[in-house]
């Protein structure tokens, strides 16, 4: 390796016989020497008079930046003595000081600062050397930068401070140093996030405790109304949740949509966290702006254990959203049989209707939830209930082609010739879509093959217009005309 380095230097010496003007080859060799910490090679280039000390590569980096990043202190000193620009920036706005700070090169940082490095220079995103060192947990470098006048509360473009970055990554020692230096514990990003929120969202319990002891606002909210408690719950950090609650976190705080910590925990199925929240006074029946409750959230996401916990805590099993939806309806939409059974056992109204008049049975029929339908029917679901437009569960199943469900509903007494407000029957709806199997089942159950809607159309006319030959043949064989 030593031989190769000497050979490269010799090559440069020979080239000076023809020209003392620096070129791309000399610059590339300088960059290689800077990365490798080749003091002898760099000194030789300088002694030969090549003007390359401030040359920049394709990314705008100089030899000083490369050496600073890796921590070659002697090379850094030589380059600075030769006139290297200590504050030049690469195409991303980074300086040698930012490179050295990011990688924790304490000796190099001291050398650069002594040479006049701008301690508060910012890259294109507003990051400073202090932010870089804080994020990566380089406590010694952080102390050096602060002693040199680094702005402890400087903010990046999105508003983050060194404390916010250190808190997110759980840099406990750095967090303490920054706070002792006057870091604003409640500084907020442009979106309103604080250091406490960052630590809570990333589950850094020790940092959360430090920030709270330093006066962090436990109930601060982002622009969207999110809190540190809500963020910790989203990720299921039980220890952090307990710390925040003990510090006075508002267990019933609502975000811009009206969601509470309990609703979030219920959606994600955080059973142990939910027990903690309920014990802390969480309102089990609080509603979002659209009327959704924690029970609805748990039911919609299929969290059976959570559903049971909420019901035992007094959750209203028949609460409705502004559109009339219930926890039962939401569980049925997703086909969560266990949740459906739990809700029914707790007294869920099996025949509750939403704003359109739809029932749980209609929803289950549309989606073809055969097993759920059997549970609903056994619980007393009205098989012939009608929506505001007159549609029944049988019509829903027929229109969506759920043959098995159609058979179950008919066996349960569904009216095969019921009509909606437009005069359509289940047979017409099935024929219009070409569900031949469903058409056969309906005909066998006594569907009126020649019934007409309010426009005088029949099942046969629908099938013919849509080009469903098989369906049309079944209808004609059954006497359609």
Residue 50 — very low, low, confident or very high, per pLDDT cuts 50/70/90? confident
* pLDDT exceeds cutoff 70 at 113: yes
| Residue numbers of the domain that contains 222 | 152-250
Q: For residues 288 and 322, give the distance between their C-alpha atoms in angstroms, rounded to a whole number.
A: 10
Q: What pLDDT does 11 receive?
A: 54
Tell whether 330 is covered by a domain.
yes
Q: In this structure, are 14 and 144 located in the same domain?
A: yes
**Site of tokens 């959360």:** 208
309-336 mean pLDDT? 96
Tell whether 479 is covered by a domain.
yes
Q: In this structure, are 8 and 100 located in the same domain?
A: yes
Token code pair at residue 466: 């849509």
Q: What pLDDT does 308 receive?
A: 98
Q: Is 462 helix (H, G, I), strand (E, B) or coil?
A: helix
279-286, long-range: CB < 8 A, 24+ apart: 280/245, 280/251, 281/251, 281/252, 282/251, 282/252, 283/252, 284/310, 284/313, 284/314, 284/315, 285/314, 285/315, 285/316, 285/319, 286/252, 286/254, 286/258, 286/260, 286/262
Q: What's the Cα-to-Cα distance from 353 to each of 367, 388, 392, 398, rounded to whole Å?
A: 17, 10, 12, 20
Tell whether 130 is covered by a domain.
no
Q: What pLDDT does 16 receive?
A: 45
Token code pair at residue 219: 């109930």
Q: In this structure, are 475 and 359 located in the same domain?
A: yes
184-201 mean pLDDT? 98
* pLDDT exceeds cutoff 90 at 13: no
197-224 mean pLDDT? 98
Q: For residues 404 and 298, give the distance between their C-alpha atoms in angstroms, rounded to a whole number.
A: 29
Q: In this structure, are 143 and 4 located in the same domain?
A: yes
Q: In this structure, are 194 and 328 located in the same domain?
A: no
Q: What pLDDT does 23 receive?
A: 72
Of 324, 349, 374, which closes a domain? 349
Q: In this structure, are 157 and 266 located in the same domain?
A: no
Q: What rounded mean pLDDT belongs to the chain? A: 94
Tell whether 278 is covered by a domain.
yes
22-41 mean pLDDT? 89
Span 153-176, pLDDT tens digits: 999 999 999 999 999 999 999 999
Tell whether 317 is covered by a domain.
yes
Q: In this structure, are 5 and 143 located in the same domain?
A: yes
* pLDDT exceeds cutoff 80 at 121: yes
Residues in Cβ contact with 181 at an 8 Å cutoff, skipping those fewer than 6 apart: 146, 152
Q: Where are the alpha helices (DSSP H) in 103-227?
A: 106-114, 129-135, 139-147, 162-168, 172-180, 195-201, 205-213
Query: Which has the minimum average pLDDT: 47-56, 144-153, 234-243, 384-393?
Result: 47-56
Tell whether 337 is covered by a domain.
yes
Q: Where are the alpha helices (DSSP H) in 247-369?
A: 261-268, 271-279, 294-300, 304-312, 327-334, 337-345, 360-367
471-481 mean pLDDT? 96
Tell whether 129 is covered by a domain.
no
Residue pair 465/434 in contact (Cβ under 8 Å)? The answer is no
Is-above-0.95 flag for pTM? no
232-260 mean pLDDT? 95
Q: In this structure, are 379 and 467 located in the same domain?
A: yes
205-234 mean pLDDT? 97
Q: In this structure, are 177 and 303 located in the same domain?
A: no
Tell whether 415 is covered by a domain.
yes
30-43 mean pLDDT? 94
For residue 56, the cross-strand partners are 62
* pLDDT exceeds cutoff 80 at 321: yes
- The enclosing domain of 272 has a CATH number of 1.25.40.20
Candidates 434, 480, 419, 424; CA nearest to 455 is: 424
Residue 49 — very low, low, confident or very high, per pLDDT cuts 50/70/90? confident
Percent of the chain scoring above 90 in pLDDT: 93
Of 349, 378, 412, which closes a domain? 349
Residue pair 257/283 in contact (Cβ under 8 Å)? The answer is no
Burial of 292 (0-12, 13-18, 19+ CB in 10 A): buried
233-238, long-range: CB < 8 A, 24+ apart: 233/261, 233/264, 233/265, 233/268, 233/270, 233/273, 233/277, 234/201, 234/264, 234/268, 235/201, 235/202, 235/203, 236/268, 236/270, 236/273, 237/200, 237/203, 237/205, 238/272, 238/273, 238/276
Q: In this structure, are 239 and 291 located in the same domain?
A: no
DSSP state of 136: T
Residue 285 — very low, low, confident or very high, per pLDDT cuts 50/70/90? very high
Span 361-416, pLDDT tens digits: 999 999 999 999 999 999 999 999 999 999 999 999 999 999 999 999 999 999 99
Residue pair 186/155 in contact (Cβ under 8 Å)? The answer is no
Of 305, 330, 349, which closes a domain? 349
- Total domains in the chain come to 4
291-297 mean pLDDT? 97
Q: In this structure, are 246 and 327 located in the same domain?
A: no
Candidates 143, 148, 89, 152; CA nearest to 115 is: 148
Cα 279–Cα 282–Cα 288 angle in degrees, nearest 5: 160
Q: In this structure, are 144 and 7 located in the same domain?
A: yes
Q: For residues 451 and 457, give the distance between their C-alpha atoms in angstroms, rounded to a whole number.
A: 8
């Amino acid at each position: 390796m030593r031989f190769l380095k000497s050979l490269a230097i010799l090559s440069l010496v020979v080239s000076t016989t023809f020209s003392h003007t620096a070129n791309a080859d000399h610059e590339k060799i300088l960059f290689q020497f800077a990365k490798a910490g080749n003091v002898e090679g760099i000194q030789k280039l300088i002694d030969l008079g090549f003007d390359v000390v401030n040359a920049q590569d394709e990314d705008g980096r100089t030899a000083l930046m490369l050496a600073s990043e890796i921590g070659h202190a002697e090379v850094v000193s030589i380059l600075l003595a030769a006139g290297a620009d200590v504050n030049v920036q690469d195409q991303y706005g980074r300086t040698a000081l930012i490179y050295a700070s990011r990688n924790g090169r304490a000796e190099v940082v001291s050398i650069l600062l002594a040479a006049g490095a701008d301690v508060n220079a910012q890259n294109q995103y507003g990051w400073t050397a202090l932010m870089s060192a804080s994020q990566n947990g380089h406590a010694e470098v952080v102390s050096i930068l602060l002693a040199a006048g680094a702005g402890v509360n400087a903010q990046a473009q999105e508003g983050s401070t060194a404390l916010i970055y250190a808190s997110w990554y759980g840099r406990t020692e750095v967090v303490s140093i920054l706070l002792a230096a006057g870091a604003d514990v409640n500084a907020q990003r442009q979106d309103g996030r604080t250091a406490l929120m960052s630590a809570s969202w990333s589950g850094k319990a020790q940092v959360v405790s430090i920030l709270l002891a330093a006066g962090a606002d436990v109930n601060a909210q982002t622009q969207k109304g999110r809190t540190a408690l809500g963020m910790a719950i989203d990720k299921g950090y039980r220890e952090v949740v307990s710390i925040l609650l003990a510090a006075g976190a508002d267990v019933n705080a609502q975000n811009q949509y009206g969601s509470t910590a309990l609703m979030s925990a219920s959606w994600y199925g955080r059973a142990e966290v939910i027990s903690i929240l309920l014990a802390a006074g969480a309102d089990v029946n609080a509603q979002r702006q659209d009327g959704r409750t924690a029970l609805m959230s748990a039911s919609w996401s299929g969290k059976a254990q959570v559903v049971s916990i909420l019901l035992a805590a007094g959750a209203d099993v028949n609460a409705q959203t502004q559109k009339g939806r219930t926890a039962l309806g939401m569980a049925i939409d997703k086909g969560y049989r266990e949740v459906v059974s739990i809700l029914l056992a707790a007294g869920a109204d099996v025949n509750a209707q939403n704003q359109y008049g739809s029932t749980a049975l209609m929803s289950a029929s549309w989606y073809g939830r055969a097993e759920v339908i059997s549970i609903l029917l056994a619980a007393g679901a009205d098989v012939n209930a009608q929506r505001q437009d007159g549609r029944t569960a049988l019509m829903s199943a027929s229109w969506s082609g759920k043959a098995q469900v159609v058979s179950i509903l008919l066996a349960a007494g569904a009216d095969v010739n019921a009509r909606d407000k437009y005069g359509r029957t289940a047979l017409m709806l099935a024929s219009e879509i070409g569900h031949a199997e469903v058409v056969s089942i309906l005909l066998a159950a006594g569907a009126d093959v020649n019934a007409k809607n309010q426009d005088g159309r029949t099942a046969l006319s629908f099938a013919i217009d849509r080009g469903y030959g098989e369906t049309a043949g079944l209808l004609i064989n059954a006497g359609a005309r």
